[in-house]
Structure 1
Amino acid sequence: MRTEGDFIKINEWLLPLSWLYGIGVRVRNWMFDIGVLKSQSYDIPVISVGNITVGGSGKTPHVEYLINLLHEKQKVGVLSRGYKRKSRGYLLADKDTEMREIGDEPFQMKHKYPDIYMAVDKNRRNGIYRLTHDEQTKDVDVILLDDAYQHRYVKPGINILLVDYHRLIIYDKLLPAGRMREPQEGKSRADIVIVTKCPKDLKPMEFRVLKRAMNLYPYQELYFTTLQYESLKAVFHDERKPLSSLPKGVNILLLTGIASPQQMVMDLKPVSENITPMAFGDHHQFTEDDAERINSTFADMPKPKVIITTEKDATRLNSLGTLSEATKNSIYALPIRIRFMLEGEEEFNNKIISYVRKNSRNSILAKRKDDHKS
């Protein structure tokens, strides 16, 4: 079994630059702490999901978990900056909005949950204002902020920090030597810390070691989640099939444009040892040259064979016109969802639902009326 911190690589020669970067980040955080820079609170439930490392901690499946938890009884708005989108400013997505206008992750969430308000805006305060005041969206009940842990101009009601089990912040270093956006003491702003991507076979002693290593304050709650894979979903035709249905020893071309593809390689090993990783950078925009390379690599692989990619990458592969028919017919997305460990799901769910109910606009208005009467 691999251990926590096993995906961390430190570029020692860049540590002096990390030290300078850390000074800048600490000064900025200090200015927020003493009130020189102002954080704004809201009279609507706002839940932030983010991290203090660059990419790969599982933000999207955790945001989707919250959507699943809330959207049947609450009007959910999700606000993202829309990383690598081609548009600017505030944009509210609808069913016809293209991926390049809002980014791959918002596009994925909007198509999975068409009943939510999916908005993008680099300026989170402006995005929240638009969601709560525009005629089209002013009935929003709760706003989920995707990747906003460093956006301190907004003060969320619940701040959720995600920490990748394989890149624990206690072992990592600041950018550019490591992948941390801010010093690990920044975790003190979190109300909830979730260690993500945990191996399914963690022992009780290992959980206790992790709890001590995270060294949280009494007011902070710690949870652990692991990834659970659902049935493969064909990208270019209508078909679903479980991973277990793949032939024994199948040759897998693992096609990814995500920050940490190592986890998928590990998780697919029980299915087949014959895995050919084809990894691109995070949020990579696939080109026609990439398509030719994918075609060629897949054609040279022996049968039986299949191409497995992520849901996020599937949204970007859809627009490639030069993928061969053989390639298209063999590409499957592997959807993931998160599962809480140590029976933490009910406690986490109750905390989120209770916060949203107590801080909903209806509850606040009722309280104001009661206060006025008294």
Structure 2
Amino acid sequence: MFDVGMKKGVEFSIPTIVVGNLSMGGTGKTPFVELLIRLFSEKHQICTLSRGYGRKTKGFILANENASAAEIGDEPYQIYSKFGHKINVAVGEERILAIPEIIIQKPETEAIFLDDAFQHRYVKGDLNILLTTFQKPFFKDKIVPLGTLREAKEGAGRADIIVVTKCPTGLEDDVKAKFSIEIRKFNSEAKIIFAGIKYGKPVAAGTASNGDSKNVVLVSGIADDSLFKAEAKKNYTVIKDFAFSDHHHYKVSDIKKIVESVKENPDSLILTTEKDAVKLKAPIFRDYLEEIATFALPIEISLSEEDLLWLEKRVSVAIKDKGYIREI
């Protein structure tokens, strides 16, 4: 109905940068939004907006120091935990209603980054960034239930930038060319960027800080844990692997099983993702995990210097076009 003009998207006076995908998840949206935050949080008053998938609340919420993963969702809470001192973080199922709330409550906001809003077409973004993985690009996928696509491949035609994420290191030019040919069948104009990922040093995610052990119990609840597992196995011996579904709501029974595995191997620790770490910090689990060394493995988007500069300039243009540039 949007395609044929029966429904219309609303364009706001404030710049809106949309980051999303065609698939059900696992393309690296949150690390990409974090990349944008790093690029622009020092230059502009930024607010991120997402649905807050998996939260136990409804409606518009602007995160504050009392926020939790249960209240605003694991990914928004991860962003707030890392960048809440620099930006504002909001959630709301209906973005078209949430954006006016942001403008009212935070009138100093100069740009809104919409996380996972490619299908929310009631909001007409000023710049639409589509992510797809190297391992399962949208042009090789199918609509659910035969595949993982939320909409037809032709939806890629709405993107201004298409980022192929999770690319292996040293991706050869001929492989990039083949990918570009397939992408061009659905979008002839978008800028195509190939991005890798890089893992940082494990960060303590609990009160126990003994991180010397090389034996780990893996805990993850993400859409695709293959790269997380591969990275862990490079540097650790995996004693046990607890792999839950994406946005898993941890229960006490889950935590008991995880702790039991650690205690069966005294010289071991919990290694988890940043998204899961924020949920393991919930007060209800404190008594079980306070003496268990727990570490999160940070992940970031990796771009070539050329692509990083291009991306920064392109997003800057989208913001500047709306006249929201703040004097520094």
Match of 1:90 among 60, 66, 71: 60
Partner Cα separation in structure 2 for residue 168 and residue 52 of structure 1: 10
- Cα distance 1:71–1:324, how it changes in 2: closer, same or farther (>3 A)? closer
- The normalised TM-score by structure 2 is 0.92
Counterpart position of 2:203: 233
| Equivalent residue letter for 2:232 | L
Counterpart position of 1:23: none
8 A contact 1:229–1:335 mirrored in 2: yes
Partner Cα separation in structure 2 for residue 351 and residue 223 of structure 1: 13
| Equivalent residue letter for 1:94 | N
Partner Cα separation in structure 2 for residue 138 and residue 127 of structure 1: 13
Partner Cα separation in structure 2 for residue 283 and residue 48 of structure 1: 21
Structure 1 residue 272, shift from structure 2 partner: 3.7
**Residue 309 in 1 paired to residue 279 in 2?**
no
Structure 1 residue 269, shift from structure 2 partner: 3.1
**Residue 117 in 1 paired to residue 88 in 2?**
yes
CA displacement 1:57-79 (0-9 Å, x = unmatched): 11101011111111111100111
What is the RMSD computed on CA atoms of the aligned residues? 2.0
- Cα distance 1:324–1:289, how it changes in 2: closer, same or farther (>3 A)? same
Partner Cα separation in structure 2 for residue 354 and residue 188 of structure 1: 21
Counterpart position of 1:288: 252
Match of 2:288 among 299, 303, 323: 323
- The normalised TM-score by structure 1 is 0.81
8 A contact 1:233–1:240 mirrored in 2: no
8 A contact 1:95–1:110 mirrored in 2: no
CA displacement 1:38-57 (0-9 Å, x = unmatched): 11112221000001101111
Aligned length, in residue pairs: 322
Match of 2:159 among 176, 187, 190: 190
- Which stretch shifts more, 116-125 or 91-100? 91-100
8 A contact 1:265–1:275 mirrored in 2: no
- The aligned runs of 1:12-31 (5 Å cut-off) are 31=1
Partner Cα separation in structure 1 for residue 112 and residue 289 of structure 2: 41
Query: How much identity, in percent, do the aligned residues show?
Result: 35
Counterpart position of 2:312: 349
Partner Cα separation in structure 2 for residue 71 and residue 286 of structure 1: 32
**Residue 106 in 1 paired to residue 68 in 2?**
no
Structure 1 residue 239, shift from structure 2 partner: 5.4
Counterpart position of 1:266: 230
Counterpart position of 1:33: 3
Counterpart position of 1:147: 116
Counterpart position of 1:20: none
- Return 5+ residue gaps in structure 1 as ranges: 1-30, 364-374
**Residue 45 in 1 paired to residue 8 in 2?**
no
| Equivalent residue letter for 1:229 | Y
8 A contact 2:52–2:73 mirrored in 1: yes
- Which stretch shifts more, 269-278 or 346-355? 269-278
Counterpart position of 1:211: 180
- SS of 2:89's equivalent in the other structure is strand
Counterpart position of 1:138: 107
Partner Cα separation in structure 2 for residue 149 and residue 161 of structure 1: 7
Partner Cα separation in structure 1 for residue 151 and residue 165 of structure 2: 19
Structure 1 residue 171, shift from structure 2 partner: 1.8
Counterpart position of 2:297: 334
Partner Cα separation in structure 1 for residue 87 and residue 262 of structure 2: 37
**Residue 257 in 1 paired to residue 221 in 2?**
yes
- Cα distance 1:361–1:350, how it changes in 2: closer, same or farther (>3 A)? closer
Structure 1 residue 302, shift from structure 2 partner: 7.0
Structure 1 residue 172, shift from structure 2 partner: 1.4
| Equivalent residue letter for 1:206 | V
CA displacement 1:151-172 (0-9 Å, x = unmatched): 0111100000000111111221
8 A contact 1:226–1:341 mirrored in 2: no
- Cα distance 1:203–1:240, how it changes in 2: closer, same or farther (>3 A)? farther
Match of 1:81 among 31, 40, 51: 51
Partner Cα separation in structure 2 for residue 238 and residue 337 of structure 1: 25
Query: Radius of gyration: which is bigger?
Result: 1
CA displacement 1:123-179 (0-9 Å, x = unmatched): 1110111112x1x30111001111001101111000000001111112211111211
Partner Cα separation in structure 2 for residue 209 and residue 32 of structure 1: 31
